[in-house]
Amino acid sequence: MFSQQSFISPEPPRRPEESELKVFCFKNILCILGFSSVIAVIALLALGLTQNKSLPENVKFGIVLDAGSSHTSLYIYRWPAEKENDTGVVTQIEECKVKGPGISEFAQKLSEIDIYLTACMERARNVIPMSQHTETPVYLGATAGMRLLRMQNERSADKILAAVTKSISSYPFDFQGARIITGQEEGAYGWITINYLLGKFTQKSSWFNLKPSEGNAQETYGALDLGGASTQITFVPQNETTESPKDTLHFRLYGKNYSVYTHSFLCYGKDQALLQKVTKDLQATSGTIYDPCFHSGYQRVINMSDLYESPCTGRFEVNFPFLPISEVEIRGTGNYQQCQKSIVQLFNTSYCPYSSCSFNGIFLPPLYGDFGAFSAFYYVMEFLNLTSEEHSSQKKMMDTLEKYCSRPWEELQMHFGDVKEKYLSEYCFSGTYILTLLLTGYNFTAESWKNIHFMGKVQGSSVGWTLGYMLNLTNMIPSEEPMSTPLAHSTYVFLVVLFSLILVIAVIVGIFIFHKPSYFWKDMV
């Protein structure tokens, strides 16, 4: 028998020179590949660490003046020019409060508006680089104080706006005009501001922010705004059908439709509400009001002309002609319970032509979701030390107000001597008014109180209508979702490092295979 090996031809012997040449070539090729891979890794890391950051000099600026009923504030915003359509990139870099009252008080002193605005406009000139002055837009929006003045005397309101326009136009910015915004606009812009800053308009993401989650955009916050002459409530109701179309606005932001309920209550800002209460209480007196909303020992004199001139006190003016006085004196008695009973009479909840109402027969759908409360809501609650969500509750607020209102005026002056007298004397009224407005006016309860978040700033930007106003006028929020959303910087760097490591490992494995082929290849026969 012949063995099997006798049928297999022997492998021809290799020449030593040929084997050495192949080994030399393979080694050189692998060395070149390895060196190239290292260079590629370094380049990827450098790209990840530098290319995903905005260039600091490539920025834009915008200025908005909030001309409120009691004061004017100037806000300066900045954003990377190449990212102006990406949410969360606009930041507030400056806030300047103009010294003095609201612009509605300048009807008889138009020549003083120049001096009134000078300090804050010069501040803007210094903050914004000179090279960008001419391309920086400036907007002025006047709110409820000017809305009231326009109701009284439209010509005076127009003169004030003309004087403001002339003053701001003298600066080297791109002034876009001064106008009186409506109550609906004020509420809507405040809602946009809160949700823009909280990032509620973009989709939730997963997988290191690479893939949008299957759910819709995040639930938005409602907005509660309180000024001196008006208050606004704005939110997305759970039920999209509405019984009052005039109180509904429709937005399309980042590819999602929003049906937003918003209503502005003119005359129900805290200053005008106080005038309403004083006028109401005056009906039962002959010129001196013993007011439980002011501290015992406190006295104030109010000119009757201030009550006559306000359009908000009209429903209480019946007996004014029969009062032969030019001023009314207020003497505080400091009692929270009686103060609350006096304030609640400002809200007429006796009738409702809809399935649900706030007050004065105004439609209000059932409250839904969380709410951000800002402006005077926040400032008053901050003074009372009630902005902390951990300790905030309806009962805590009532207990705090009861103690605060009962404190004598002299004691308060000793402890809070640095607080302006007008504000210090009115915190009892303002706090009680806020509590009554939220519970009686807007239908919050002890249970839903936890959904109210008192906000002063978010991401370093003041919460209010001004940012939303600028975003709208500059088209900073696209109606459709951007074609591609840039990755977060941390995610981008992570991926670059990950793939670089994979590349390095592949090279190392390749070298190992070359030097230790017996681990991976069987002998060829």
Lookup result for tokens 């009680």: 432
Confidence at residue 480, expressed as pLDDT on a 0 to 100 scale = 76
Out of 163, 180, 197, pick the residue that ends a domain: 180
The catalytic site residues sit at 186
Gap between the Cα atoms of 148 and 154, Å rounded: 9
**For residue 374, what are its two tokens?**
């800002």
Q: 58 phi and psi, to 5 degrees?
A: -95, 70
Which pLDDT does position 8 carry in this prediction?
A: 47
For tokens 């103009």, what's the residue? 98
Domain check: are 274 and 188 in the same one?
yes
Residue 312 belongs to some domain of the structure: yes
In-domain check, residue 354 = yes
Contact 196, 471 (CB under 8 A): yes
Asked if residue 233 and residue 96 are part of one domain, the reply reads no
459 part of a folded domain:
yes
Closest CA to 139 of 165, 107, 162, 120: 165
Contact 98, 119 (CB under 8 A): yes
Residue 117 to residue 119: CA distance in whole angstroms: 6
Residue 92 lies in a domain: yes
Look at residue 3 and tell me if it is in a domain.
no
pLDDT of residue 304: 87
Residues 295 and 398 reside in one and the same domain: yes
Q: What is the pLDDT of residue 508?
A: 73
Note whether 324 and 233 are same-domain residues: yes
Give the tokens for residue 498.
């990950």
| pLDDT digits (tens), the chain, 525 positions | 444 444 444 555 555 555 565 556 556 656 665 666 666 666 666 656 655 554 445 899 999 999 999 999 999 999 987 665 555 579 999 999 999 999 999 999 999 999 999 999 999 999 999 999 999 999 999 999 999 999 999 999 999 999 999 999 999 999 999 999 999 999 999 999 999 999 898 765 444 444 444 444 579 999 999 999 999 999 999 987 889 999 999 988 888 899 999 999 999 999 999 999 999 998 877 779 999 999 999 999 998 888 888 899 987 764 555 556 788 999 999 999 999 999 999 999 999 999 999 999 999 999 999 999 999 999 999 999 999 877 678 999 999 999 999 999 999 999 998 999 999 999 999 999 999 999 999 999 999 999 999 999 998 999 999 999 999 998 888 877 765 555 556 666 776 676 677 667 766 766 665 666 555 444 444
Task: From 118, 147, 180, give the residue that closes a domain.
Answer: 180
**229 shares its domain with 194:** yes
Tokens at 68, concatenated:
């409120």
Residues 344, 367 within the same domain: yes
Return the pLDDT at 339: 98
Could you tell me if 230 and 329 lie in one domain?
Answer: yes
Q: Which domain holds residue 165?
A: 59-180
Three-class SS state of 331 = strand
> Is 243 a domain residue?
yes
User: Residue 9 domain-assigned?
Assistant: no
Q: Which of 346, 363, 177 is nearest to 272 (CA)?
A: 346
Nearest to residue 178, comparing CAs of 191, 163, 165, 187?
165
Q: Look at residues 147, 180, 213 and tell me which one is the last residue of a structural domain.
A: 180
What confidence score (pLDDT) does residue 308 get? Answer: 82
My answer on whether 190 and 259 are in the same domain is yes
Backbone angles phi, psi at 13, to 5 degrees: -70, 140
3-state secondary structure 44-77: HHHHHHHCCCCCCCCEEEEEEEEECCCCEEEEEE
- Best CA proximity match to 342, nearest among 451, 259, 221, 428: 428
Same domain as 392, residue 269: yes
Do 418 and 318 have their domain in common? yes
Our count of domains for the chain comes to 3
- Report the CATH number at residue 242: 3.30.420.150
Q: State how far the Cα of 344 lies from the Cα of 356, in Å rounded to an integer.
A: 19
Asked if 96 and 189 sit in the same domain, the reply is no
- Length, in residues, of the chain: 525
**122 and 262 together in one domain:** no
**Separation of alpha carbons 87 and 83, rounded Å:** 8
525 assigned to some structural domain: no
What is the DSSP pairing of strand 248-253 with strand 174-180?
unpaired
Q: Which residues contact 35 (CB under 8 A, 6 or more apart)?
A: none
**CB-based contacts of 20: which residues, under 8 Å, 6+ apart?**
none
